[in-house]
């Protein structure tokens, strides 16, 4: 009897011992499986965060420089923030909220898919919740994960902001204007720069060729005006990153024969006359270089001297020069408009700005402010005055002969040429 009890207790103890060992083994196996599962889950989560970040970086890039896959009629239509404003955004906030002074801003350029109205700022954080690094350059950077993820917008700033756009103008039978008729065609290219629109005017060479430099990416407006008839051809040009844009512009009528040795720029009915400075005017606030001679002599040349002579600003406040201009000699009939040209570039720091200036009837009228910060080479800017600022009526030849033309400059920008062009119809 005692033997049987002892045997039973021994067997129970042995069974209990085996159960505990098995339990420990099971727990170890569960721990290993859980550890492997956690590592796998962490890897899956990291992969998901990486993919989410890459997708969001692509969205931010498209918001800044546009989506090249958005095309209509064979023409790219989306150039993002840069295409509308002619510069890179200073920060990611500018994609959602209009920066001060940006009149051409057409955002928001990005929306948050997790908010009801798309106005959340979640797009500024990567998949790990850390803010993207971006301060107006060419890279948007995520540093939330174990390794850095970078999205590059372009190879250089120049690819986005300083492209060339060239055109050739001919009439219906492909004849260029030649030396006698080149002044009868005016090109006006309008594009954004630093948040607002700017227009640059030029005239074709003898062979009808016109080129513009420092053109940002975007869908811009080109107007080609045949001045004798005041007839305007309007084209949309699509300038892409790092592209030298070129197109032919053909007029719908036979304007000139291949022999352009006779006749005048206006075809006899209309024309234009250029009037250049010939003396000092009522205001002389700018600094001239070189300092010998008079200010007006630094800006009166027919062909730009490349900055050998110029006037420049000398203060963070606006300073103005105005000059008397030549009297007309060829113009007659009705004056259609007076266009004031200034050829300027940036120099030094601060807000480099300029304006055309016109004095009629004793009062000054300045053109729109020209932001010269991105303009490193001398560039022609112009303001058109269809009517006399003194009377708000049609110009008289007496007013033209008495007017003063000039330039206003803020900070140390330079101006090497000033002139007026008078368009008239006999």
Q: Examine the domain organization and report whether 415 and 301 are in the same domain.
A: yes
**Would you state the structure tokens that stand for residue 168, as one six-digit string?**
């050739």
Buried b (16+ CB within 10 A) or exposed e, 344-372: bbbbeeeebbbbbbbbbeeebbbbeebbb
Q: Examine the domain organization and report whether 256 and 351 are in the same domain.
A: no
Residue 7 counted as domain residue: no
Question: Which of 95, 119, 153 is the endpoint of a domain?
Answer: 153
Q: Examine the domain organization and report whether 85 and 217 are in the same domain.
A: no
Residue 1 counted as domain residue: no
When divided into structural domains, the chain yields a total of 3
Question: Which of 262, 295, 312 is the endpoint of a domain?
Answer: 262
Q: Examine the domain organization and report whether 106 and 168 are in the same domain.
A: no
Q: Examine the domain organization and report whether 228 and 195 are in the same domain.
A: yes
Q: Examine the domain organization and report whether 423 and 275 are in the same domain.
A: yes
Q: Examine the domain organization and report whether 252 and 387 are in the same domain.
A: no
Using alpha carbons, select from 216, 211, 212, 213 the residue that is nearest to residue 197: 216
Specify the CATH number for the domain of residue 403.
2.60.120.260
Q: Is the four-CA dihedral 150, 152, 155, 157 of positive or negative sign?
A: negative
Question: Which of 153, 174, 194 is the endpoint of a domain?
Answer: 153
**Domain assignment of residue 85, given as a range:** 12-153
pTM: 0.56
Q: Examine the domain organization and report whether 329 and 421 are in the same domain.
A: yes
Contact 199, 190 (CB under 8 A): yes
Q: How many CA atoms lie within 13 A of 214 on its CB side?
A: 17
Q: What is the pLDDT along the chain (426 residues), one digit of tens a residue?
A: 454 544 445 544 454 555 778 778 777 787 777 666 665 555 556 788 889 999 999 999 999 999 999 888 778 889 999 999 999 999 999 999 999 889 899 999 998 655 545 456 788 999 899 999 999 999 999 998 889 999 999 999 999 999 999 999 999 888 999 888 888 899 999 999 999 988 899 999 989 999 999 999 999 999 999 988 878 899 999 999 988 899 999 998 888 865 443 333 334 456 889 999 999 999 999 999 998 899 999 999 988 888 899 999 999 999 999 999 999 998 888 998 899 999 999 988 788 999 999 999 999 999 988 989 888 888 889 888 989 999 999 999 999 999 999 999 999 999 999 999 998 887
Q: Examine the domain organization and report whether 191 and 340 are in the same domain.
A: no
Q: Examine the domain organization and report whether 51 and 172 are in the same domain.
A: no
- Tell me how crowded residue 166 is: count the other CB atoms within 10 A of its CB: 14
pLDDT for the residue numbered 302? 87
pLDDT for the residue numbered 264? 36
């Amino acid at each position: 009897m005692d033997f049987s009890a002892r045997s039973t207790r021994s067997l129970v103890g042995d069974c209990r011992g085996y159960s505990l060992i098995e339990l420990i083994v099971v727990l170890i196996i569960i721990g290993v499986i859980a550890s492997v599962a956690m590592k796998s889950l962490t890897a899956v989560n990291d992969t998901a965060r990486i993919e989410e970040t890459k997708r969001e970086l692509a969205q931010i890039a498209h918001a800044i420089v546009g989506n090249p896959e958005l095309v209509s009629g064979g023409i790219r239509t989306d150039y993002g923030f840069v295409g509308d404003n002619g510069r890179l955004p200073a920060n990611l906030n500018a994609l959602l909220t209009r920066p001060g002074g940006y009149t051409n801003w057409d955002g928001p350029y990005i929306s948050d898919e997790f908010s009801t109205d798309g106005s959340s700022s979640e797009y500024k954080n990567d998949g790990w919740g850390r803010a993207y690094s971006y301060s107006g350059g060419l890279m948007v950077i995520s540093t939330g994960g174990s390794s850095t993820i970078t999205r590059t917008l372009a190879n250089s700033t120049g690819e986005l902001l300083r492209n060339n756009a060239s055109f050739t103008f001919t009439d219906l039978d492909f004849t260029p204007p030649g030396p006698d008729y080149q002044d009868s065609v005016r090109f006006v290219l309008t594009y954004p720069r630093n948040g607002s629109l700017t227009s640059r005017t030029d005239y074709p060479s003898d062979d009808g060729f016109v080129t513009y430099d420092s053109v940002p990416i975007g869908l811009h407006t080109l107007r080609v005006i045949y001045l004798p008839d005041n007839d305007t051809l309007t084209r949309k040009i699509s300038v892409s990153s790092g592209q030298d844009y070129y197109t032919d512009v053909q007029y719908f009528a036979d304007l000139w024969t291949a022999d352009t040795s006779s006749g005048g720029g206006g075809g006899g009915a209309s024309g234009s006359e250029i009037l250049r400075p010939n003396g000092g005017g009522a205001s002389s606030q700018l600094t001239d270089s070189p300092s010998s001679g008079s200010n007006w002599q630094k800006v009166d040349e027919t062909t730009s001297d490349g900055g050998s002579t110029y006037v420049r600003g000398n203060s963070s406040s606006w300073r103005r020069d105005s000059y008397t201009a030549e009297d007309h000699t060829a113009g007659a009939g009705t004056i259609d408009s007076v266009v004031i040209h200034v050829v300027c570039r940036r120099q030094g720091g601060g807000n480099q700005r300029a304006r055309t200036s016109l004095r009629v009837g004793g009062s000054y009228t300045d053109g729109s402010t020209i932001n010269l910060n991105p303009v490193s080479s001398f560039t022609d800017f112009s303001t058109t005055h269809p009517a006399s600022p003194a009377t708000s009526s049609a110009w008289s030849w007496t007013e033209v002969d008495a007017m003063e033309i000039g330039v206003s400059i803020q900070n140390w920008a330079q101006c090497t040429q000033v002139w007026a062009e008078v368009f008239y119809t006999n």
